[in-house]
Amino acid sequence: MSTGVNLKELAAELKLSPSTVSRALNDSYEISEETKKKVVSMAEKMNYQPNPFARSLRENKSKTIAVVMPERMSSFFSKVIDGIEEVTQQHGYHLLVYSTHEDVEREKKIVNLLMNGRADAIVMSVSSQTSDISHLARLHERGFPLIFFDRICESIPTTKFITNDYESAFEGTKHLIQQGCRRIAFLMLSKELSITKERYRGYLDALKAAGLSPTPSLQVTCAHEEENNIEAIRKMLLSEDRPDGLVSSVEKLALATYHAVKRTDIKIPEDLKIISFFSNLSIAGLLTPSLTTITQPAFTIGEECAKLLMKKLTKPRQPDLPNQLISIPSKIIIRSSTIAV
């Protein structure tokens, strides 16, 4: 791999010193317009590309953001990253992307690796296994810029971007009740997860507001393995107090539910109405029947994370990321899976 020209060679060609060339390329006021032109044109001619590591070493920043998330095959996370990339790319930033595969040990390893400054900031959504958050707390205490989205750590005082989890779950559950549901199931990944807690609370409060009492056996905590989830849901669906409605707090469990239903003779929406947090609109419309979704503003969440970070990182002497919770509302899109017949 033949490395290109460096600053010294470029300077030699121009019969200038490296410092002058550097300043010229960085548009310093100390350099005359005339020399700037010369330098810039010669740099183009010789295809000079500054070495990013020399620069990072000197400036102590990498122009790189790390994104850590639980899984890649999820339209929600894909769209968030698209949103982040859209903003960061305009500022010349690069994206390191890591998947924890819902494994807290991998999450710890990744976070610890990132503490050496390879990235200027971390945008993350924690794994469903994450209960001990000391690795993240340590990162933040050291002053490392850290932003959470979706699955947040409440106790770490930094900026977090979420959707209106509580209200959406409340409204979604209320919608099921309005459609006549009385025994409503709730599917979740892990009780530790911030999104689980909030969405669950919204679900419970909606039940309470309607004078309904929750049935413990209808609240299913799932795991990572899809087949196990499908079977757990199927059993719940066929249990004694089988539900007539179902709220899924994450996309993948809605899909698991459709799989589970296929293994029974339950009819949606006649026997069971389903609503789910879901980001893949194209798929939602193709499911049979089409799925009523609580659609999170995934792309916007990514954009907002990135905008905040860019402000903090590209301007000098910015304050720490404020300890705030920013909520961007979801939209409920009613489709066939909850239409009363």
Partner DNA sequence: TATAATTTCGCAATCGTTTCCGTATTTTAA
Partner DNA sequence: TTAAAATACGGAAACGATTGCGAAATTATA
Do residues 110 and 135 touch, judged by C-beta distance below 8 A? no
> What x-and-dash track marks residues 119-148 binding a second copy by CB under 8 A?
-----------------------xxxx---
Q: How many residues bind DNA (CB under 7 A)?
A: 30
Q: Which of residues 11-30 bind DNA (CB under 7 A)?
A: 15-20, 22-23, 25-26, 30
Q: How many CB atoms lie within 10 A of CB 89?
A: 12
Write down the least CB distance from residue 49 to DNA, Å.
7
Q: Which of residues 227-256 bind a second copy (CB under 8 A)?
A: 255
- Of 27, 44, 59, 227, the one binding DNA (CB under 7 A) is 59
Question: Would you state the structure tokens that stand for residue 337, as one six-digit string?
Answer: 């899976």
> What x-and-dash track marks residues 67-86 binding a second copy by CB under 8 A?
-----xx-x--xx-xx--x-
Is there binding between residue 115 and a second copy (CB under 8 A)? yes
> What x-and-dash track marks residues 144-183 binding a second copy by CB under 8 A?
xx--------------------------------------
Nearer to DNA, 42 or 306 (CB): 42
Do residues 81 and 303 touch, judged by C-beta distance below 8 A? no
Nearer to DNA, 213 or 315 (CB): 315
CA–CA dist 228, 239 (Å, integer): 16
Is there binding between residue 96 and a second copy (CB under 8 A)? yes
Question: Would you state the structure tokens that stand for residue 169, as one six-digit string?
Answer: 């779950």
Is there binding between residue 228 and DNA (CB under 7 A)? no
How far lies 318's CA from each of 4, 58, 181, 308, 311, in Å? 35, 20, 51, 11, 8
Is there binding between residue 118 and a second copy (CB under 8 A)? yes
Is there binding between residue 318 and a second copy (CB under 8 A)? no
- Of 38, 259, 266, 339, the one binding a second copy (CB under 8 A) is 259
79 binds, among a second copy, DNA, none (CB under 5 to 8 A by kind): a second copy
Give the list of residues 6+ apart from residue 132 with CB closer than 8 angstroms, or none. Answer: 104
Do residues 107 and 148 touch, judged by C-beta distance below 8 A? no
Give the list of residues 6+ apart from residue 341 with CB closer than 8 angstroms, or none. Answer: 269, 270
Q: Is 132 helix (H, G, I), strand (E, B) or coil?
A: coil
175 binds, among a second copy, DNA, none (CB under 5 to 8 A by kind): none
Q: Is the dihedral of CA 290, 292, 298, 300 positive or negative?
A: positive
Q: Is 323 helix (H, G, I), strand (E, B) or coil?
A: coil
Rounded (5°) CA angle 236-239-240: 145
Write down the least CB distance from residue 43 to DNA, Å.
10
Q: How many CB atoms lie within 10 A of CB 277?
A: 25
- Report which of 102, 93, 48, 46 is spatially closest to residue 71, judged by C-alpha positions: 102
Write down the least CB distance from residue 307 to DNA, Å.
24
259 binds, among a second copy, DNA, none (CB under 5 to 8 A by kind): a second copy
Rounded (5°) CA angle 71-68-145: 160
Q: Which residues bind a second copy (CB under 8 A)?
A: 1-4, 49-54, 56-57, 60, 62, 64, 72-73, 75, 78-79, 81-82, 85, 94-99, 113, 115-118, 142-145, 226, 255, 258-259, 262, 280, 282-283, 285-288
Q: Which residues bind DNA (CB under 7 A)?
A: 3, 6-8, 15-20, 22-23, 25-26, 30-35, 48-51, 54-55, 57-60
